[in-house]
Structure 1
Amino acid sequence: MTTSVTHPAPRPAGDVADASAPEEISSHLKWPQRPPSVSLGDRRDSGPHIALGTNEPGIRALFQYRPETAHPLILLSEVLLCGESTLSRGDRELIAAYVSARNQCRFCFYTHAAFAAVRAPEGMTLVEQVCEDLDSAPVTAKLRALLRIAGTVQQDGRQVTGELVDAAREAGATDLEIHDTVLIAAAFCMYNRYVDGLATFAPEDPAVYAARARMTGGYVAVNGEQLPRAS
């Protein structure tokens, strides 16, 4: 029996407060006291390439360093992952985690794996199964087809074929869901390269990501302090 990642009810993209009640999100993030068992290559410990002036990890440090660019990036994440959609937030976070794993981006993978896991009854096990063997992972046919498209975008957008798109449609995906899957995958290739291209810090402690994943707000609500203040 296949399942999709469970999710809170979708909400308008402009609403920065998550519409889900706390009980709609798993109260126990199933993440062992180790990183997920997904190969991410060798760890980089050289430190950031530029002085970021903060101890925040990953993209959060970059948001603080350059709030003018943080603003559109946070808004894009809000719309793609938390905005109104027929795809659950959990499914969309899983697409983000899957692409980040394929790009071997530790910070983005750990972050969005946690966001997906906290919304799935199977927890982190589902994320690991999807990343390790998509063909046998216990997800719906539609989500599997969309993840195949996302994985192809991660390799080369030109390799997305009509057959892949037709397979997603036959599994029940709408054109908007296909559009958003491609954009999520493309955006996370950018985020992954942004985070790793400046050699930002990715903590290994699962509690760092679990705590963030339990926050019920969207990306604007959680990262609002990074947004430029009105003059």
Structure 2
Amino acid sequence: MPHIQFQNDLPGILGPMNFSPHTAEPMNALANALLQTDEGLSRGERELIATYVSSQNDCFFCQTIHGAVASEYLGDDDWSLVKAVKCDYEQTALSDKMKALLAIAGSVQKGGKHVTTEQVEAAKVQGATDREIHDTVLIAAAFCMFNRYVDGLATIAPQNPEVYRARAARVVEKGYSSEGKYTSEKIIS
């Protein structure tokens, strides 16, 4: 049960966003700026970073919704890649560059000062650009905030994966939106 009354039954971050539209708008703008671009990293890779950090923070809602979005972008219909990345990304078929960027993201999740020069250099050796390193750090930092927002208010998180699949398809089509009030229909449709 959420710590405060949202006056809605919306899951995860949608509950507090509906409760506070004036903060939802800039948070959605940030999510769109970070995740809805293919500059450098693909949208799927960006969502994978968000998923990994959210899993490290044990935020069920965020790791599940962003894992669903990553899967949608990456053609990972059974979510096997997303599950493997959350379990041990080093053992996946991801590129060495992406593995190096996930190492950086994992360090950011622990605290910004955990990122090392060696990690950054390793990412650069694997072909990561300064933009990709910058965006990885910012996505990881932002998702620490988003995860703490969701879990700090004890929001509800559906267990049915189909809820997340439906929402993922909408995000892929329309991005992250703060238009109007959130409704249950908008989540599932």
State the TM-score, normalizing by the size of structure 1: 0.75
* Match in the other structure for 1:3: none
Give the match for residue 106 of structure 1: 60
Equivalent of 2:31, from 48, 70, 77? 77
Q: Distance in 2 between matches of 1:72 and 1:192?
A: 16
Q: 1:226 to 1:141 in 2, by over 3 A?
A: farther
Q: Which runs of 5+ in 1 are unaligned?
A: 1-46
Aligned match for 2:144, one of 151, 173, 189: 189
Question: Residues of 2 paired with 1:183 and 1:112: CA distance?
Answer: 16
More helix by share: 2
- The residue type equivalent to 2:8 in the other structure is T
Task: Tell me the matched-pair count.
Answer: 179
Flag structure 2 segments of 5+ consecutive residues without an equivalent.
Answer: 183-189
- Paired letter, 1:202: A
Answer with 1 or 2: which has the greater Rg. 1
Read off the aligned partner of 1:217 and give its amino acid letter.
K
The one of 46, 51, 66 equivalent to 1:92 is 46
Name the CA distance, whole Å, in 2 between partners of 1:226 and 1:89: 26
- Say whether the 8 Å CA contact 1:153–1:160 is kept in structure 2: yes
Report what 2:154 is aligned to: 199
Q: 2:84 aligns with which of 125, 129, 142?
A: 129
Answering whether residue 79 of structure 2 is matched by residue 146 of structure 1, we say no
1:64 match: 18
Aligned-CA RMSD value: 1.3
Shift of 1:182: 0.3
Distance 2:56 2:31 in 1: 19
For residues 226 and 153 of structure 1, do their structure 2 counterparts lie closer, same or farther at Cα, with a shift above 3 Å needed? farther
Distance 2:76 2:25 in 1: 33
- For the residues of structure 1 that align with 2:127 and 2:75, how far apart are their CA atoms? 22
CA contact (8 A) 1:77 1:219 kept: yes
Aligned-residue offset at 1:119:
1.7
Q: Give the conservation status (yes or no) of the 8 Å contact 1:70–1:226.
A: no
Q: Aligned letter for 1:141?
A: D
TM-score calculated relative to the size of structure 2: 0.91
% identity of equivalent residues:
50
Q: Does 1:217 align with 2:174?
A: yes
Q: How far is the alpha carbon of 1:121 from its aligned partner? A: 3.2
User: 2:131 maps to what in 1?
Assistant: 176
